[in-house]
Amino acid sequence: MEERRSCYCRNNGFLLQLVLLFFFLLLFLDVPMVATAAPSSAPLNSTQVSIMKDLSALVTARWNTSDSNPCRWDGVNCSSSSSLSFVTNLTLSGYGLSNSTIFSHLCDLDTLQSLDLSKNSFANSVQQFFTSSCSMKAVLRSLNLSSNLIAIPLGDFSGFPLLEVLDLSFNSFSGGVSTQFNSLPKLRSLNFSSNNLVGDVPTSMVLSLEELVLSSNKFSGSIPKALFNYQNLTMLDLSQNNLNGGVPDEFLKLPKLRTLLLSGNVLSGNIPVSVSNVASLSRFAANQNNFTGFIPSGITKNVKMLDLSYNNLGGVIPSDILSPVGLETVDLTRNMFEGHIPSNLSSTLYRLRLGYNSLNGTIPDTIGDALALAYLELDSNQLMGSIPFDLGKCKKLSLLNLASNKFQGRLPDAIGNLDKLVVLKLQMNNLDGPIPSLLSDLANLSTLNLSHNSFIGEIPREISKLSKLSVLNLQGNKISGSIPDSISLLPSLIELSLGNNSLNGTIPMMPTKLSTVLDLSHNHLSGSIPSNIGLLNDLEVLDLSYNDLSGEVPESLVNMQSLTQLVLSYNHLSGSIPIFPRHVELNYTGNPGLQNGIENNENAPTGGKRSAHGILVIIFAIAGALGGLCLLTAIVTISYSKRIYRVEDEGTSTEEVVARIINGHLITMNSIHASAIDFSKAMEAVSNQSNIFLKTRFCTYYKAVMPNGSTYSVKRLNYSDKILQIGSQGKVGHELEVLGKLSNSNVMVPLAYVVTEDNAYIIYEYVHKGTVFDFLHAGRSDVLDWPSRYSIAFGLAQGLTFLHGCTQPVLLLDLSTSTIHLKSMNEPQIGDVELYKIVDTLKSSGSLSTIAGTVGYIPPEYAYTMRLTMAGNVYSFGVILLELLTGKPSVSDGIELAKWALSLSGSPDQREQILDTTVSRTSAAVHRQMLSVLNIALACVVLSPDARPKMRSVLRMLFNAK
């Protein structure tokens, strides 16, 4: 039996060999043909082969070095002369590179024409490459170092005589630009967007320059006349600087200009007339300046995308401005235009924004000619008349905003044709008649705001067909009848405002997703408050005031986990009011039959509710001998002795041996990570101190390069000898698995973990550009302008809202600017997420050093409650907001930032002093937004934990501060 089977197998093997041989021959015969077809398959010059081999040791990326011809590696292009090839182009974008020793190898590639090192982490050590001699520089034509971390003064480029394209955008180059480019006779394209360059707009480049991008720097002064000598310019971007004065009217000297961007400066005077006559110009933006006067006529003859919004332009909008065929977008929002909307409308126009002007007259009947129109905003003008029937011909409309005008009459049924409509805002007009039931055909509608008009009749029951509707606002009309039962079928509704109407009948079942507001106030609703309202777990504000509701307040409302405001005033409610958690703002005046229940027995009722809120309690089991007071002193001493956040590395010697793995587990299901992560490689990386890139209070991060070249972060838990008691490892593993299933782009999610004899390590994706602390307080703060700081705050709020909203809420033990990593200048990731889960597992063995995070971020109540709460996290978040607003660290000169800010918050003048003036002075809009964010920050750091907002509200407030 056995014998025969193996014999059979051998036969098979023989057959297989034959087949392989056959294919091999086929391949072999094909080779010459392939070789002649592709020139670069000539063998690479042997000197360059060895350079590439050396490079591959440093380029820790996707190079498949098993292929012996480097010309076939990712991002490598070669060309051949006669029988040999040479490397001409290298694209190593986003490879996680930071060690500038790579340049010494690159310098030997003296045939390189194009080098792309964008999206890496090169820092100031690249200076040497710019200044030292290097034979590659003599031949290079294109250099891209954008999106790195280079923060040096701009040097000169005389070493690059053939350079044609230079992209250094998204770094922190500083200083002024004068003669640095004198030596580049072939320069065609220069991109310095998003750096810290100051002084005048440079005009020392070669006159044949075609692209000049200087946006988002700190250039000042006026636009130099000499710029108009660059007659081959196709792109000129000076947006987001501090340029002032008028714009020379000389654009006819730039006959090839295609894109002209002047937005976000303090330019004044008239829009230059010559812009209208540059035949090639297709995009012109001058928004957010102080331009005055009229729009030059014929400006859209050539320009297809025009943005003049947020200026002080006035007069009548030229009648021909919207008519040219090919026109795409026109934005004139927030100026002082008057008169009528031009009636000649192009069939290619897809975005028209005329909001916040003083336009009058009607919407032209020709609106139906604008067949491509997708966004139409005419809000906040003095427009009148009825909404034209022909608007129904604009079948591509997805946003229609006619709010705050004087429109009257009925809503035409034709609106029901606009089946692409997502947002329909008609509030604050004089519209009347019934709400057309055809609105329910708008299958994509997400926001419907008809508030503050004079609509009559009932709410059409077909409205329940709007399965994507998330906001329905009908308040302030004359709507009667009862609320249709079908309303509960709206699966996506999060806000429902029906206040100030004439609704009667009882309150039906409400959609379960409602989360921001349910406002039924000022109607004639009767019957009792249905107890199923208590099922609206996400609802924050419930207003039932000024109705005819009777009966008792259902006990179930107490269970609404997100409720912050409950308004029951002026009804006929009776009985006693159930006891709500203290943070719920309750108003029940004008209900004579209603009695306040048992007064404020704080502990009994709130305790139970808190755990329903998921405010989980970690009890640090401290040796019983330590009394409360003693504990308090201990925390303070430890925190201060650890001096803000950097912890000296204890006990790891450079010669540490590679630790023995007890247990290595993959958490991620992602097959790319699964195949890349190698546990022994990770342990090799942590044995070498030079791989450390960050230390926080509880953790040390190492960079590890896996065998396939991709880079990961490996985090060692400091103190883990104390944390990981024998037998708790299984539990830690389980908790990490749970965290590994979280998915939110603002949270660092563990991919795998390794437990060794005396430590635990967690493996993450490597996305580290530095921490927020590094950027704010380690001399790089000028990199973070206000938009980045705002995005960081917003991303962080999203991440925290997500963590707090999990079925099992995740709290942060150590939330500070040094535990927030930056993926880019505006994408934060919350790190050290697992700490509380892991610390939780050692209830029985707790150690003092693990308590309460980093000094300056520790909410005052932790000192006596000794437990981690969501409100405590909100406090720490507030401190981070303050750091972003002030640029100051969480503690300076022994004074905590939060306390300092609170002490100044009393008067508006003093509030000004809190802000980082170098940031707040950039524009009035920035200043305004910073003040709104300051209000949010101050609400987060108030002393009483109950008075602090929930993360979800914080997120919404931040969003509204946009």
Ligand X SMILES: *[C@@H]1O[C@H](CO)[C@@H](O)[C@H](O)[C@H]1NC(C)=O
Give the residue numbers annotated as catalytic, written as ranges.
Answer: 814
Q: Which of 138, 85, 139, 147 is nearest to 116 (CA)?
A: 147
Among positions 826-865, residues that touch ligand X (CB under 6 A) are: none
- Which lies closer to ligand X via its Cβ, residue 52 or residue 373? 52
Paired with 586 in beta bridges are 566
Q: Report the nearest approach of ligand X to the CB of residue 170 (Å).
A: 20
- Which lies closer to ligand X via its Cβ, residue 232 or residue 446? 232
Q: Report the nearest approach of ligand X to the CB of residue 756 (Å).
A: 25
* 208 is a contact residue toward ligand X (CB under 6 A): yes
Backbone angles phi, psi at 128, to 5 degrees: -60, -40
Concatenating the DSSP letter of every residue in 412-453 gives PGGGGG-TT--EEE--SSEEEEEPPGGGGG-TT--EEE--SS
Max distance between CA atoms of the chain, in angstroms, equals 100
- Which lies closer to ligand X via its Cβ, residue 110 or residue 413? 110
* 88 is a contact residue toward ligand X (CB under 6 A): yes
**Secondary-structure percent of the chain, ordered helix, strand, coil, rounded to 5:** 30, 20, 50
Among positions 223-252, residues that touch ligand X (CB under 6 A) are: 231-232
- The residue range among 109-117, 245-253, 401-409, 786-794 that interacts with ligand X, by the rule CB under 6 A, is 109-117
- Which lies closer to ligand X via its Cβ, residue 349 or residue 705? 705
Please identify which residue in the block is written with the tokens 């300076």.
892
- Do residues 245 and 267 touch, judged by C-beta distance below 8 A? yes
Q: Return the HEC string of 347-377.
A: CCCCEEECCCCEECCCCCHHHHHCCCCCEEE
Order of strands across the sheet that contains 312-316: 174-176, 196-199, 218-221, 242-245, 266-269, 290-293, 312-316, 336-339, 358-359
Q: Which of 41, 54, 110, 314 binds ligand X (CB under 6 A)?
A: 110
* 93 is a contact residue toward ligand X (CB under 6 A): no
Backbone angles phi, psi at 80, to 5 degrees: -120, 145
- Do residues 331 and 356 touch, judged by C-beta distance below 8 A? no
Contacts of 221 (CB under 8 A, 6+ apart): 199, 200, 201, 243, 244, 245
- Which lies closer to ligand X via its Cβ, residue 108 or residue 721? 108
Q: Report the nearest approach of ligand X to the CB of residue 260 (Å).
A: 18
* 45 is a contact residue toward ligand X (CB under 6 A): yes
Are β-strands 699-705 and 820-824 bridged in parallel, bridged antiparallel, or unpaired?
A: unpaired
Binding mask 413-442 for ligand X (x = CB under 6 A): ------------------------------
- The residue range among 42-50, 179-187, 272-280, 917-925 that interacts with ligand X, by the rule CB under 6 A, is 42-50
Rounding to the nearest 10 degrees, give the CA dihedral for residues 438, 467, 401, 286. -140
* 111 is a contact residue toward ligand X (CB under 6 A): yes
Q: Report the nearest approach of ligand X to the CB of residue 427 (Å).
A: 53
Q: Which of 36, 101, 671, 844 binds ligand X (CB under 6 A)?
A: 101
Q: Report the nearest approach of ligand X to the CB of residue 391 (Å).
A: 48
- The residue range among 106-114, 531-539, 542-550, 865-873 that interacts with ligand X, by the rule CB under 6 A, is 106-114
Q: How does DSSP classify residue 386?
A: P
CA distance 405 to 398: 20
Specify the amino acid at residue 54: D
Q: Report the nearest approach of ligand X to the CB of residue 138 (Å).
A: 12
Number of residues that bind ligand X (CB under 6 A): 20
* 99 is a contact residue toward ligand X (CB under 6 A): yes
Q: Report the nearest approach of ligand X to the CB of residue 770 (Å).
A: 15
- Which lies closer to ligand X via its Cβ, residue 101 or residue 808? 101
Asked whether the CA dihedral 612, 941, 858, 889 is positive or negative, the reply is positive
Q: Report the nearest approach of ligand X to the CB of residue 96 (Å).
A: 12
- Which lies closer to ligand X via its Cβ, residue 169 or residue 288? 169
- Which lies closer to ligand X via its Cβ, residue 79 or residue 725? 79
Q: Report the nearest approach of ligand X to the CB of residue 753 (Å).
A: 26
- The residue range among 43-51, 286-294, 485-493, 756-764 that interacts with ligand X, by the rule CB under 6 A, is 43-51
- Which lies closer to ligand X via its Cβ, residue 228 or residue 356? 228
* 521 is a contact residue toward ligand X (CB under 6 A): no
Concatenating the DSSP letter of every residue in 622-691 gives --TT--HHHHHHHHHHHHHHT-TT--PPPS--TTPPPPPEEEEEE----HHHHHH--HHHHHHHHT-GGG
Among positions 689-728, residues that touch ligand X (CB under 6 A) are: 690
Paired with 175 in beta bridges are 197
- Do residues 829 and 820 touch, judged by C-beta distance below 8 A? yes
Q: Which of 105, 119, 137, 141 binds ligand X (CB under 6 A)?
A: 141
Distances (CA, A) of 859 to 699, 788, 854, 904: 21, 26, 10, 19
Q: Which of 207, 612, 674, 895 binds ligand X (CB under 6 A)?
A: 207
Binding mask 158-197 for ligand X (x = CB under 6 A): ----------------------------------------
CA distance 485 to 499: 17
Q: Is 955 helix (H, G, I), strand (E, B) or coil?
A: helix
- Which lies closer to ligand X via its Cβ, residue 404 or residue 711? 711
Q: Report the nearest approach of ligand X to the CB of residue 101 (Å).
A: 4
CA distance 490 to 514: 10
- Which lies closer to ligand X via its Cβ, residue 251 or residue 877? 251
Binding mask 54-83 for ligand X (x = CB under 6 A): -----------------------x------
- The residue range among 105-113, 413-421, 805-813, 893-901 that interacts with ligand X, by the rule CB under 6 A, is 105-113
Binding mask 656-695 for ligand X (x = CB under 6 A): ----------------------------------x-----
- Which lies closer to ligand X via its Cβ, residue 60 or residue 427? 60
* 84 is a contact residue toward ligand X (CB under 6 A): yes
Q: How far is CA 37 from the centre of its chain?
A: 47
Q: Report the nearest approach of ligand X to the CB of residue 718 (Å).
A: 22
Paired with 292 in beta bridges are 312
Q: Is 823 helix (H, G, I), strand (E, B) or coil?
A: strand
Specify the amino acid at residue 240: Q
* 89 is a contact residue toward ligand X (CB under 6 A): yes
Q: Report the nearest approach of ligand X to the CB of residue 250 (Å).
A: 15
Q: Which of 142, 234, 241, 398 binds ligand X (CB under 6 A)?
A: 142
- Which lies closer to ligand X via its Cβ, residue 81 or residue 297? 81
Contacts of 857 (CB under 8 A, 6+ apart): 814, 815, 816, 875, 876, 879, 880, 890
* 113 is a contact residue toward ligand X (CB under 6 A): yes
- Do residues 88 and 114 touch, judged by C-beta distance below 8 A? yes
Q: Report the nearest approach of ligand X to the CB of residue 695 (Å).
A: 16
CA distance 834 to 740: 10
- The residue range among 40-48, 575-583, 653-661, 765-773 that interacts with ligand X, by the rule CB under 6 A, is 40-48
Binding site for ligand X (CB under 6 A): 45, 47-48, 77, 84, 88-89, 99, 101, 110-111, 113-114, 141-142, 207-208, 231-232, 690
